[in-house]
Amino acid sequence: MTTRASVRRERRIGRPVEVVWEVIGRPDLLHLWYPGIEACEVRGDVRTITLATGMTLEERILTLDPVQRRFQYRVTGGLFQEHLATVDALDLGDHTTLAVYSTDAAPATMALVLGGGAGAALDELARQLEAATGPAVDAVRAGPHPSSAPHANHAEREATS
Amino acid sequence: MGRKILFVTTDQQRYDTLGCNGGAIARTPVIDGLAGEGIRYERAVPASVVCMPSRSTMLTGQSPRRHGVWMNGVPLPVDAPSAAEVLRRVGYRTALVGKPHFEPFLDPFGRFTENRLARLGVPTVDSLGHDGLVGPHRGFEHLEFATHSSAGQLHYARWLAENHPEVIDGFYATLDRDLEVNADGGGATGAPQVKDNPVPRDWYHTDWVADRTIDWLDALDADDDWFCWMSFPDPHHPWDPPESELGRVAWREVPLPEGYSIDRAEREAILDAKPRHWRQWYDGQLVSNFEAPPSWVPATLTADQLREVTARNAVEVELIDEALGRVLAAIAARGWADDLDVIVTTDHGELGGDFGLLFKGPYHVDSLMRLPLVWRPAPNSGVAPAVVNGPVGLVDLAPTWCAIAGVAPSPWMEGVRLPVDEADHVDRHPGRVITEWDSERFGVTVGLRTITRDGWVCTVCMPGSVHDGSEGELYRLDDDPLQRENRWDDPALRSVRDDLVADLVDSLGPVTGGRRPVEAPV
C-alpha cells in the first residue's frame, strides 16, 4: 500500500526566469497567486498560511536560493506525516521559464490534493506574469515586504547535520 | 404551461436492486409503479463506472473524452455545457438537491464551487457558460448538496453540525487516518464500510434530500415549469443506514447474489480467465484506483459479510423509494401530477459480491454497467408503457430532457432522446453504447474501452502499467448473463470480436482539449 507520494506539476511561462523568480522567491506573496490561500504571514523561517476553508497551516521555509532559483518549504504538523514542497524556476533560454512545483507527502492522498492546488497556482502565476498585471506582480513592483528577510539555506544545513 | 421534470439519481445502485427488475430483497413499490406506468430500460449503460465522469455525462450529454472528466478527481470545467442551462433559458426553474460531484470533494483550499456554496450561504453563484454568457452555476438556480458522509463542507454536513451535532460521530468515517477509503469493518460480520448508525431516520441524508427538494418545489409558483435533479447519495457505501431501519431486512436470510460463487476455487478460476487486473485486485496485489479501500483484500470477503452488506444496501434502497414517494405526493398536492415526467436512474453500479468483489473499479460487467433506468412520461403526454431491451446510454438523458421540454437537443450533445419503445429504439437509436475507464494512481495506469451492442459486451484493455494491450473481455449476454466466461480468446468468436473492436474504435471520438490533470482523489 502506498503511504507516501510525489506529485510534480509544471508550467511554461512566457517571461524571463528573473521575472518569474521575483514572485516565486517571495514567500510572503504566495496567497496572491495560489488559489485557495487567503493569507500568508512570514516570521523568520516560519510561514503561516490561511486557507479559504479557514484552516491554517504552519510551514517551515527550508530553502530560498536565488542562484538555483529554488524555494522549498515543509508543512509541519496537521494531517501530514511527511511533507516537502519544491518550487523551481528553470531558464529555458528563450526568455521563457519552466516553473516546477513538486509535492512530496505522506499520506499519499495529501500529495495529490496539494498537487492539484499547485497546478492551479502555476496557472495563476503564468496568467499574472504573462499579463504583467495581477496582485502578485503588483506586490513585487511595490517592493519587498518589510518582514521579508533573507533566509539561510536550511535544507543544506539539515542535510549536513 | 409545459411538462415538469423530476430527475432522480441514486449513487452506485445495481440493476437488480429494484423489484421491477426482478429484485427480491428491497421493496420498491414507488419506482416499480413508475416503471409499470412508463418505460423500463433493460440495458441502460453508463459512459463511465465512477461518479464524476458519469454524472458529467448526464449533465453535458457528452462522453468523458469530450467533457474531459476522465476519472474521479478531475473537475468538470465550470464552463462545460449544461443541459440544465438549456432548460433554464427556455424558462424552466432549475435545481439540483443532493449529491452533485462534478468537482472533487477533498478540497482543503475551498477551490471548487460545490464546496464553497454552503459556506457562502447563497443558492448559487454566477459562472461563465460554454457560450460565454454568464448564468447560474452549471445552469442551476438552486443548489443544495449532500454526500455520503456527515463530515465535509456541503450543506448536509453543515446542517447536521448546526442542528444535530450529537449524531455526527454515529456515521461511518468514509476516510481513514491516511485519507484513504476506510476499510474498517462493522455490523455483525465486520464487513468493510459497515456501521450501525444511531442517526434518526428523519435526519439521515436520504430524507434530508427529499425534504429539501419538497421545500424548493413548495417555493415555486403554480404555473412554473421546472427541472429538479434530486440526487440521493445512497446506496453507495458506506452502508450505515439508520439502525432503526435495519430490521427491514434480516441479513442472515439474504440469499447470496447469483454472481457470487461460494466455492473459492470456482470463483478464482473465473477471475483467472479475465484480464490480469481482476485477480490482482482480488488478491490484494493491485490497487489501481481510489474507489475501494486500498487496504481491503477482496479475497477475504466472507459469505456472511456479503449477506450483511446486501441487506444494508437493500435498506438504503427502500428508504430512497419511500423518500421518492413523499416527493411525488408533494408534487401531486401542488396539482402537477399530470404534467410530471419522472426519470429514475443511477450513475453506475456496484460489484455487490459478484466474482467475490465489492465496490467498483475497472471492471466492465453488468454489476457496474447494467443500470436501473425508468422513465415515466407525463401522464398527459399519452406515451404508452413499454420495456426497451436494446442498449441505451446515460449520454441519452440530456436530449431526453430537451425533448420533454420541447426544445431541440443542443449540437454539443452526443446522445439521442431515449426511445419510448423497442420499435423506437430500432428506428432511432444507434444501438451501441461506449463505456470508458481511465485511471492513474501513483504510477499505476489502467484504461478500458468497451462497446455494448447486439447482445455483446466487448472490452479492450489499453496498454498501460498493468496491461500490454493484448488482453480483453468478450461476453455474450444471452448465454452468459453473469459474464462468467470470458471468450476474448475463443477462436470461434474471432470475427465477432474483430467486428466489435473495429466498431468500438470507429465510435470513439477524439479526446477534446488534451488530458486535464487530476486535482484530488475524489
Is any Cβ of chain A less than 8 angstroms from the Cβ of B44? no
- Is any Cβ of chain A less than 8 angstroms from the Cβ of B516? no
| Average model confidence (pLDDT) across chain B | 97
Q: How far is B179 from chain A (nearest CA, A)?
A: 6
B-interface mutation test, from A82, A110, A113, A123, most B Cβ less than 10 A away: A113
**Selection from B267, B218, B229, B183 nearest residue B59 by Cα:** B229
The rounded distance, in Å, linking the Cα atoms of A13 and B190 is: 53
Digit-coded pLDDT (tens) for B77-125: 999 999 999 999 999 999 999 999 999 999 999 999 999 999 999 999 9
ipTM, 2 dp: 0.89
- Strand B373-376 relative to strand B386-388: parallel, antiparallel, unpaired? unpaired
Please, are residues B278 and B284 in contact by the beta-carbon 8 Å criterion? Answer: no
**A58 found inside a domain:** yes
Q: State the Cα–Cα distance between residues A131 and B99, nearest whole angstrom.
A: 38
B513 has pLDDT over 90: no
**Each residue of B173-205: pLDDT tens digit?**
999 988 899 999 999 999 999 999 999 999 999
Q: Is the pLDDT of residue B441 over 70?
A: yes
Chain B hits for A31, Cβ within 8 Å: none
With an 8 Å Cβ cutoff, the interface of chain A facing chain B consists of 1-3, 5, 9, 35-37, 51-53, 55, 79, 106-110, 112-113, 115-117, 119-120
Domain extent at residue A31? 5-140
Question: How far from chain centre, in Å, is Cα B138?
Answer: 19
Instruction: Provide the residue type at B67 as one letter.
Output: H
Quick one: residue B399, left, alpha or beta (phi over 0 = left, psi -120 to 50 = alpha)? alpha
Q: Between B287, B442, B519, which is nearest A116 by CB?
A: B519
Other C-beta atoms closer than 10 Å to the C-beta of B78 total 16
Residues 303-332 of B with CB under 8 A from A: none
Q: Is the pLDDT confidence value at B445 over 70?
A: yes
Cβ neighbours around B517 below 10 Å, total: 16
Confidence band for B366, pLDDT divided at 50, 70 and 90: very high
Query: The cell 474483430 sits on which residue?
Result: B498
- Kindly state whether residue A149 falls inside one of the protein's structural domains: no
In the structure, what pLDDT confidence band is assigned to residue A156 with cuts at 50, 70 and 90?
A: very low
- pLDDT(B324) > 60: yes
Query: Three-class SS of residue B466?
Result: coil
Q: What's the pLDDT at A157? A: 36
Which helix (DSSP H) or strand (DSSP E) does residue B397 occupy? helix B397-405
Q: Which of A1, A53, A117 sits opposite B287 (nearest CB)?
A: A1
Tell me: the pLDDT tens digits for B249-262? 999 999 999 999 99
Q: Average pLDDT of B447-473?
A: 98
What size, in residues, is chain B?
A: 522
- CA–CA dist B13, B405 (Å, integer): 27
* CATH number where A89 lies: 3.30.530.20
| Candidates A2, A79, A113; nearest CB to B520 | A113
Q: Quick check: B521 and A113 CB within 8 A?
A: yes
Q: How many domains does chain A have?
A: 1
User: Helix H segments across A10-152?
Assistant: 17-24, 108-131, 135-141
Q: Is B450 in contact with B368 (CB distance < 8 Å)?
A: no
> Using CA atoms, how far apart are residues A41 and A50, in angstroms rounded to an integer?
9
- Give residue B175's Cα distance to chain centre: 20
The DSSP line for B502-519 is HHHHHH--PPSS-PPPP-
Q: Answer whether B68's CB lies under 8 Å from B518's CB.
A: no
User: d(Cα B92, Cα B112) in Å, to the nearest integer?
Assistant: 26
pLDDT at A160 over 60: no
Is the residue at A57 inside a domain?
A: yes
Strand partners, B449: B436, B460
How far apart (Å, rounded) are the C-alpha atoms in residues B493 and B474? Answer: 9
Other CB atoms within 10 A of residue B51 CB? 24
Q: Say how many Å lie between the first and final Cα of chain A, rounded.
A: 31
Q: Residue A159: its pLDDT value, please?
A: 35
- In chain A, which residues have their Cβ closer than 8 Å to the Cβ of B115? 53
**Above 90 in pLDDT, residue B387?**
yes
The shortest C-alpha distance from A99 to chain B (Å) reads: 16
Q: How many CA atoms lie within 13 A of A4 on its CB side?
A: 10
Buried b (16+ CB within 10 A) or exposed e, B283-305: eeebbbbbbbbbbbebbebeebb
Put simply, whether B152 touches A (Cβ < 8 Å) is: no
Give mean pLDDT, residues B66-71: 97
* Residues of chain B contacting A37 with CB distance shorter than 8 Å: 109
pLDDT digits (tens, 9 = 90+) for A80-137: 999 999 999 999 999 999 999 999 999 999 999 999 999 999 999 999 999 999 999 9
d(CA A101, CA A115): 8
Region of residue B61 (left: phi > 0; alpha: psi -120 to 50; beta: else): left
C-alpha distance from residue A88 to each of A25, A73, B14 (Å): 10, 12, 48
Determine whether the interchain pair B111/A55 forms a contact, defined as Cβ–Cβ distance below 8 Å. Answer: no
- Beta strands B226-231 and B191-192, pairing class: unpaired
Which chain A residues have a beta carbon less than 8 Å from that of B440?
none
Which secondary-structure segment (H or E) carries B423? Answer: helix B422-428
Please list every residue in chain A whose beta carbon sits closer than 8 Å to the beta carbon of residue B442. 2, 5, 108
Contacts of A109 in chain B (CB under 8 A): 106, 175, 178-180, 521
Share of chain B above pLDDT 70, in %: 100
In chain B, where are the structural domains located? Answer: 4-261+302-430
- Report how far residue A77's alpha carbon sits from residue B450's, in angstroms, rounded to the nearest whole number: 45
Q: Which of B52, B71, B111, B287 to mutate against chain A (most A CBs within 10 Å)? A: B111
A142 Cβ neighbours under 8 A, 6+ residues apart? none
Of B110, B111, B442, the CB nearest to A5: B442
A-chain residues near B158 (CB < 8 A):
none
Q: Are B41 and B373 in contact (CB under 8 A)?
A: yes
Residue A25 DSSP code = T
Q: How far apart are CA B150 and CA B49, in angstroms?
A: 24
Contacts of A106 in chain B (CB under 8 A): 178
In our burial notation (b when 16+ CB lie closer than 10 A, e otherwise), range A105-125 reads bbbbbbbbbbbbbbbbbbebb
CA–CA separation, A36 and B320 (whole Å): 36
pLDDT band at A147 (very low <50, low <70, confident <90, very high): low
- Residue B169: pLDDT band by 50, 70, 90 thresholds? very high
- For B285, the closest chain A residue by CA position comes to A1
Distance from CA of A150 to the nearest CA of B (A): 28
The tens digit of pLDDT for each residue in A14-62 reads 999 999 999 999 999 999 999 999 999 999 999 999 999 999 999 999 9
SS3 B475: strand
B242 CA: distance to closest CA in chain A (Å): 30
Cβ contact, residue pair A108, B517, below 8 Å: no
**CATH T-level assignment (fold) for domain B4-261+302-430:** Alkaline Phosphatase, subunit A (3.40.720)
Chain A neighbors of B519, CB-CB under 8 A: 113, 116-117, 119-120
User: Cα separation of B424 and B426, whole Å?
Assistant: 5
Report the amino acid identity of residue A97.
T
CA distances from B486 to A74, B54, B364, B499, B508 (A): 50, 26, 12, 17, 23
H/E element holding B192? strand B191-192
Q: Backbone dihedral region of B356: left (phi > 0), alpha (psi from -120 to 50 degrees) or beta?
A: left
What is the sign, positive or negative, of the torsion defined by CA atoms of B8, B376, B123, A119?
positive
Asked if B164 and B146 count as a contact pair (C-beta separation under 8 A), the reply is: no
Residue A158 has pLDDT above 80, yes or no: no
Overall size of chain A counted in residues: 161
CB-based contact B195:B240 (threshold 8 Å): yes
How near does any CA of chain A get to the CA of B361, in Å? 17
Q: Which three cell numbers, joined as nine digits, stand for A117?
A: 492546488
Residue A156 falls inside a structural domain: no
Which chain B residue shows the shortest CA-CA distance from A82? B178
